[in-house]
Amino acid sequence: MTVGLVLGALVLSGCARFDDSASSPFTQEPTLDAAELEPTKPKPSDESTTRPSGPCIDPDPAVVVSCLDTAGGLVEMGGYALVAERRTGRILHVAPEQQPVEVARVDVDPAGDGGLSDIAISPTYPEDGLIYAYVTTASDNRVVRVAEGGGPPKPVLTGIPKGTTGNRGAIDWSKPDQMLVLTGDAGDPAAASDPASTAGKLLRVNNPTSNGNAPTEVAVSGIGSVGDICLGGDQIWITDRTPAMDRLQRIGPDGVVTTAWTWPDRPGVAGCAVTPEGLAISLTDAKALAMASPDPQTYAVTAPPSVFLANKYGRLLGATPAMDGTIWVSTSNKSDGGQPTPNDDRVVRIPPPSAGGGGPD
């Protein structure tokens, strides 16, 4: 699940037209500087050489936090993260060697793959502390806005079709005034191709408001079960699952959609994160993290994404790049099909392949 951060005038131009031959290199998604965050936020402690012991403290030093309910999307914010719990609707502040702190909660319907799928912080988060969330309710899927510390959620985009499956969604900011919303097909592939339906689409939501009817534009149709949105330079990457294959697709600034890679074996593509090494992709059913390596000029993916972490933390779902070069992932072992350990579910920091970490067990 992958989640981008946009600050002030910083613009990730995912929609302007341009000459693709002059596009910028594949670069790391911009993130907030930790110093700009509110000083009252809990800060992670310095890493120590001795791992503390006790209930819900994982002996693995790569584990940020343990004993969560099944986790979804997350946003790393400079040594700590906000993470969504899919079934409870809680948004938690998590940091190494600290107890998680609930900062907001949304009522959700977690049936099937619904619930609290993904979160994204406001482009002006240091000033307003607002968090946007993709959620499943009793009647629909929707995007809402919540404030840290409480208060009822404000609807941003409502009426996204709900089904027995295909309810997962993802959100991210492409510009300070434009949100991207990736919606599942609600178990109906025909709806994903129907221009009158918001199911199975990548939507551009311009100037999101809190009236539930923000204006939208369809950028991509035919989406299956949602994986994630991740941004790099002027490229938008999305992952999804269809009955025939799992896919990685790219949308250039000219709006052209390219299928970058497919997985006929359907390993369960999920969260993604743009890093200097390439595009990290969580594979839920394969219990692995893979790295795709787009060409720095053409963005084409010509080699199979390489697995550099497998069978170590179970089912991986969310993924986000961190300021220190690691990739933070969330697990979903308490969901149907998982085999949770006493310490699940977890958020884990994974070194990139260039650091020599995360090899298969």
Q: DSSP 3-state assignment of 98? A: coil
CA distance linking residue 257 with residue 268, whole number of Å: 21
105: tokens are 């909660």
- For residues 89 and 79, give the distance between their C-alpha atoms in angstroms, rounded to a whole number: 23
2 within domain boundaries: no
118 domain-assigned: yes
Report how far residue 361's alpha carbon sits from residue 353's, in angstroms, rounded to the nearest whole number.
14
CA 345 to chain centre: 16
What residues are paired with 76 via a beta bridge? 81
CB atoms within 10 A of CB 317: 29
338 CB-near residues (< 8 Å, 6+ apart) = 70, 314, 315, 332, 344
Report if residue 273 sits inside a domain: yes
What's CA 6's distance to the chain center, in Å? 14
CB 186, CB 161: distance < 8 Å: yes
What is the pLDDT, as a whole number, of residue 103? 96
In a domain? residue 6: no
Q: In the structure encoding, which two tokens stand for residue 358, read together?
A: 């995360």
Examine residue 217 and state whether it is found in any structural domain, yes or no: yes
Residue 174 lies in a domain: yes
74 touches 328 (CB < 8 A): yes
Q: What is the largest CA-CA distance in the chain?
A: 57
Q: Has residue 255 been placed in a domain?
A: yes
- Print the domain residue range for 312: 20-34+62-355
CATH number of 306's domain: 2.120.10.30
Res 355: pLDDT: 62
Task: Give me the helices (H) in 121-229, please.
Answer: 125-128, 189-193
Nearest in space to 123 (alpha carbons), one of 254, 3, 229, 235: 3
Q: Report yes or no on 156 lying in a domain.
A: yes
Cβ 46 vs Cβ 98: under 8 Å: no
The pLDDT, as a whole number, for residue 255 is 94
* Backbone φ, ψ for residue 234 (5° rounding): -105, 20
Chunked mean pLDDT (size 10), the chain, 361 residues: 37 29 33 38 39 73 96 96 98 94 96 95 94 98 92 94 97 96 97 96 90 89 98 95 97 96 98 96 98 95 96 97 96 92 96 65 42
Q: What does the alpha-carbon distance between residue 79 and residue 357 come to, in Å, rounded to a whole number?
A: 19
- Residue 52, pLDDT score: 52
Tokens of 196: 């009158």
Distance separating alpha carbons of residues 127 and 176, to the nearest angstrom: 14
Give pLDDT, residue 35: 38
Distance CA 40, CA 289 (A): 34
Q: What total of structural domains would you count in the chain?
A: 1
Looking at residue 54, its pLDDT comes to 62
